Amino acid sequence: MSSNDKYDRQVRIWGPHGQARLQNARVLLLGCDPVGVETLKNLVLPGIGYVIIVDNKLVTEQDIENNFFIPHDTIGQSRAKVVFEYLLEMNSDVKGEWHQLENYNINDQQFDLIIANEKQFLENKFNLIELQTYGFIGKMRLYSPKCHIIESKPMNQKYDLRIFNPFQELKEYFDSIEFEGDVDYLAHIPYIAILYKALQKYHQINGKYPITFKEKHQDFKQVILSLCDNLEYQYKGNFYEAIDNIDQAFESQNWKNILESTEMEQDDKESQFYILLQALRQFVQIHGVPPLSKAFPDMKCFTQTYVHLKNNIYGVRIEKDFQIFKDLCQNKINDETIRLFIENVQDLKTINYRTIQQELQQPNQVDDYDNDCYIWYILLRSVNEFYQINNRWPNQQKSDIQLLQEIVVKQCKLVNVDSVPESHIIEICRYEGSKLHMIASVIGGMASQEAVKLITNQFVPINNTLIYDGLKSEASIFEF
């Protein structure tokens, strides 16, 4: 990293390890049309490691009009060379190469991401973002052969506090709490202890624990309030904190879902994710629950109580579980990765992408037939087929509109749609393959965010297609 401050803001989002993945990444851009260049620009700025730009065309007047990174005095020069030089001026940390080629051989090479810019790319060995802009319409299609996400970073963090099924040391602490004493003591009982005591009282009254939403958020809530009947309102803050965190009283099942739903191919058996997942299965078989993570929430209580809970009760258990889990990994995974996995074990994600080839042959049907973005998807498929047949884009002539309508009928049958509005067909013929920089900028911004997700293996990328309607400034995501 060239400067401690240069990437400070983004490191706060994806951490030093995420930044390291970016700076070690190799990205291939196929084609220098505006949307791909905008996407790559947004990866050069945060410090992507190495870029390879491939394009066989020379700069024309049309490029100057719709591509911000091609200046007016470069007509006749290689588009790949011009774009490469201007992009890398933005960040001296980024290295790379350019090639003026039509077909680039990717055999025996390794890429962290390929950006297929205004072209279809059927290779399925690497992370892929396929981009297209057509008039006011934009499309982004993601594919990843192995998308296993450890750091999904959900908006609402889940805490594994073992309130429902506490380990021995935690249970002894909970049992030591009495709801008797002076007001100051009662007002500083940690909410996790309140939830545990309320669960036991609910069980005594009803002979079972709360299961349904009503039982948890109405009946159980009343039990919590009954524990502080004798307190004045200003001393009940920790009890209302318990009510706000009712869901934490019950075990999360997210980790079970990932164990049940994840299927690993034979060539995945040596991957880090597979080794960690197998260790998790073995740990759960022995202990019934996953290893305890270090995430611990703030709560209204005495400072010494909080420190005791975090360090002496939860902290000691965390280290015990870590050592057991580490042994199950058989020295194949480093400590930092193991701790990261345990910390995020409640929010692991796996996405099984359909290949581009599968989508082309038979896209998944969706229920949102009236969505304009879905209509534009069908029409994008149709104009692409028109181009393959005629080697040009359809225009506003009646003959082209009629030819496109025939293709649209065929595409509608593939997705079991009766028809698309004629007004949309006429509108897309009006575009005649035009590429607008403003649409490229919007799609490029979204595509670069998805690229960072795929490269850093953080956050959850879309599955699998985003269509942007620039006429309405609306976007929809479809799993085709």
Mean pLDDT of the region 273-288: 90
| 1 has pLDDT over 50 | no
Mean pLDDT of the region 403-408: 92
With H, G, I as helix, E, B as strand and everything else as coil, classify residue 170: helix
Beta-carbon count within 10 A of 472 CB: 10
75 Rama class: left (phi>0) / alpha (psi -120 to 50) / beta: beta
What was the pLDDT predicted at 268?
63
| 79 has pLDDT over 90 | yes
pLDDT tens readout for residues 199-254: 999 999 999 999 899 988 899 999 999 988 888 888 899 999 999 999 888 877 77
Query: Please, what is the angle between helix 272-287 and helix 335-343, to 10°?
Result: 60
| 267 has pLDDT over 70 | no
Q: Cα-Cα-Cα-Cα dihedral of 233, 237, 240, 244, to 10°?
A: 150
Tokens of 457: 């293996």
Cross-strand bridge partners of residue 26: 50
pTM of the model: 0.86
Question: How many angstroms separate the CA atoms of 284 and 111, rounded?
Answer: 36
Question: How many angstroms separate the CA atoms of 416 and 381, rounded?
Answer: 14
Distance (Å) of CA 134 to CA 160, 169, 285, 433: 48, 63, 53, 6
Domains of the chain: 3-145+434-478 (3.40.50.720), 166-247 (no CATH), 251-352 (no CATH), 356-431 (no CATH)
Element holding 126 (H helix, E strand):
none
Strands in 385-470 per DSSP E: 465-469
Question: How many angstroms separate the CA atoms of 18 and 46, rounded?
Answer: 11
Query: Radius of gyration over alpha carbons of the chain, in Å?
Result: 28
